[in-house]
Structure 1
Amino acid sequence: MADASSPDFVYRIMTVPEWATASEAGSFGGAALDHKSGFIHLSTAAQVPGTLALFFKDTPCVVIKLVTSKLDQDALKFEAVAERGGELFPHLFAETLPVAGPVFAAKGDVTDGVIADSTFLE
């Protein structure tokens, strides 16, 4: 569950085709990894650069969706991820993620330049 120490916002990184489908539908139902895991993977602002480098290294353009961490207090859980050094990551245990609201787009090498500095997300 998100609590008082949780950040106000978390982020979902999507490919452009994922965003196009979600935008048309009004919600994001998750990618293959989300379906396999049983939840929608999210990142804090500080985690975005590492997530980009790990999962989107060869993706020429991504969409970063701003999500309020107050979205659903029962569905959003911060859980330790062993593969990322035990760091706590936000996981949304819900069928879909609403997509209304702000998004950021990044083109080119998403692990380089301004996108690698997550302070623009805060």
Structure 2
Amino acid sequence: MPHPTIAYKVLTAEQWTRFQQDGQFTGAPVDLADGYIHLSTAEQVDETVAKHFAGQSGLVIAAVNLAALGDAVRWEPSRGGALFPHIHATLPLSALIVHAPLEWLDGEGVRLPE
């Protein structure tokens, strides 16, 4: 089964502002510590938000065009062996398809931007 061509990055308001100003995103603290930018597929984003962003407000979710990043994207095992998309490069603003304030819908999870 081929990998999805779209993945998602959750950003704090400060990270999103800096991303827009710089035109690129070098990573959140966890990304910098791990040496790559963590992304989640549509199926993984609810768990990512629940695990790493619970209780935070002002979050932004951005859809990333993985095809635009070429070989910088690697699918690597993480939680329970599931493959997650990781970017081993800077994420350019031009690779974003769409972004929106992150909304958590009770009983439905994260509303993905369209």
If the length of structure 1 is used for normalisation, what is the TM-score? 0.82
Q: Quote the sequence identity (%).
A: 35
| Residue of structure 1 in register with 2:56 after alignment | 59
1:91 partnered with 2:80 = no
RMSD over aligned Cα atoms: 2.0
* Cα 1:21/1:54, change in 2 over 3 Å: same
Partner letter of residue 91 of structure 2? L
Count of paired positions: 112
CA contact (8 A) 1:12 1:41 kept: yes
Residue 26 (structure 1) shift: 0.7
CA contact (8 A) 1:39 1:92 kept: yes
Residue 102 (structure 1) shift: 1.1
Runs ≥4 residues deviating over 2 A: 112-115
Cα distance in 1 for residues equivalent to 2:80 and 2:87: 20
Aligned mate of 2:69, from 55, 65, 72: 72
CA contact (8 A) 1:49 1:115 kept: no
Unpaired segments ≥5 residues, structure 2: none
Unpaired segments ≥5 residues, structure 1: none
Partner letter of residue 77 of structure 2? A
